[in-house]
Amino acid sequence: MQELEKAISAERKARGDIEILRQALEAFTSRRDVDEIVSHLEGFLMRLVPHDCSAVCFFEGEGLRPHSIKGDSGKGTVAGAVINDPVFQREIREAIRPVLLPEPGSGLRVGDSNAPVESGKFMVVPMRAGTRNIGCLTLECREGERFDESGALLAQALANEAAIALECARLTGEVEKLTTVDALTGLHTRRQFNAASLIEFRRSLRFRLKLSVIMMDIDRLMRVNDGHGRIAGDTVLAGAADVCLRGIRVTDLHARYGGEEFCFLLPETDQKGAHILAERLRASVAGLRFRTDNRNFSVTASFGIAERQSDTDSIERLLERSDQALFKAKCEGRNRIVLWTERVGKFWKPG
pLDDT for 112: 34
Question: What is the set of domains in the chain, with CATH numbers?
Answer: 2-178 (3.30.450.40), 190-347 (3.30.70.270)
The DSSP secondary structure of 144-178, one letter per residue, reads: S--EEHHHHHHHHHHHHHHHHHHHHHHHHHHHHHH
CA 84 distance to own-chain centroid: 22
pLDDT for 278: 98
133 with 127: CB under 8 angstroms? Answer: yes
pLDDT for 76: 47
- pLDDT exceeds 90 at position 243: yes
83-97, 200-214, 292-306, 315-329: range with lowest mean pLDDT: 83-97
pLDDT for 105: 59
How do residues 69-97 score in pLDDT, each as one tens digit?
887 655 545 454 555 555 556 677 878 88
> What gap in Å lies between CA 351 and CA 95, rounded to an integer?
64
Q: What is the mean pLDDT of the chain?
A: 85
7-21, 225-239, 333-347: range with lowest mean pLDDT: 7-21
Q: Return the SS3 of 340.
A: coil
Handedness of CA 340, 342, 344, 349 (dihedral sign): positive
103-117, 183-197, 208-222, 225-239: range with lowest mean pLDDT: 103-117
pLDDT for 32: 76
Average pLDDT over residues 148-161: 90
109 with 94: CB under 8 angstroms? Answer: no
Say whether pTM exceeds 0.75: no
Average pLDDT over residues 320-327: 96
